[in-house]
Amino acid sequence: MTYLRLALFPIALTVCFGCNENNHQSINSFDQAFSFNDGMHNWSSDFVDYPTLGETSLYRLNWQRSELPLRGSERGLRVQFNNASDDVFAYLYREFGGLRPSTNYDITIEVTIYTPFSRGIGGIGGSPGESNAVKIGAVAEAPARVVVSVGNSTYWRVSIDKGNQSQGGEDMVVVGSLFNGNESDQLVWTSVPMKNVLPHRVRSSNQGTIWAIAGIDSGFEGFTEVYFESIRVIAQEVP
């Protein structure tokens, strides 16, 4: 039995080759796109890589849907943070279910970020464009905030291997930065699409779920403000 499901926006394309005897879908691929202009679409957001104690207000951590600069009433998901620890990670994550349990999937994630950071914009510890790495990834279990001891201090970390700053890890890869492609020394708000060139392979959970993740791993020691416009997640079962 073959199913084809197509929705307009967010776009969802799901192909099913065969269903079980209870007529439940057995999904071997999907293609879903989400615009933050019209809602969150069940994406969650958080921050890690900063101390658990002290003046956390110094970090000015904020996620909020708001109007895009110079784009009228069009909205995006604004992320703001002051990287006082030189290591803040801001990220989005979402669960996708209905997959084949304990099955390998190749994942492609495309994010479009509205960023003002041209080449000539300088800052503390590097430029706000090139020193903010954009990463994508996928895992079987929900990424959780955990407390980790470093010397005499404790920090918020995330329970996946994302790598650090400009380096990727087992669960996330670097797909770009907040550099907008302009060589100017002025702020120029620009939409920049980014995606992984090679598929990111992940094994679904025993319940047939995966979690997609996109985030900014910052090495820029200053204030950053950009907007996530959209995210697209494509999954294909590995034969």
The residue ranges of every structural domain in the chain are 2-237
- Average pLDDT of every residue of the chain: 89
> Which residue type sits at 28?
N
Q: 104-121 pLDDT, tens per residue?
A: 999 999 999 999 999 988
Query: Residues near 191 by Cβ (< 8 Å), separated by ≥ 6?
Result: 112, 113, 114, 229
Backbone angles phi, psi at 142, to 5 degrees: -60, 130
- Indicate whether 3 pLDDT > 50: no
Query: For 154-171, what is the mean pLDDT?
Result: 95
Rounded to an integer, what distance in angstroms lies between the CA atom of residue 19 and that of residue 118?
50
Q: 87-108 pLDDT, tens per residue?
A: 899 999 999 999 999 999 999 9
Model confidence at 25, pLDDT cuts 50, 70, 90, reads low
Predicted local confidence at residue 160, as pLDDT: 98
Query: For 12-17, what is the mean pLDDT?
Result: 42
Whether the predicted model's global pTM rises above the 0.85 cut? yes
CA–centroid distance for 150 within its chain: 26
Predicted local confidence at residue 26, as pLDDT: 63
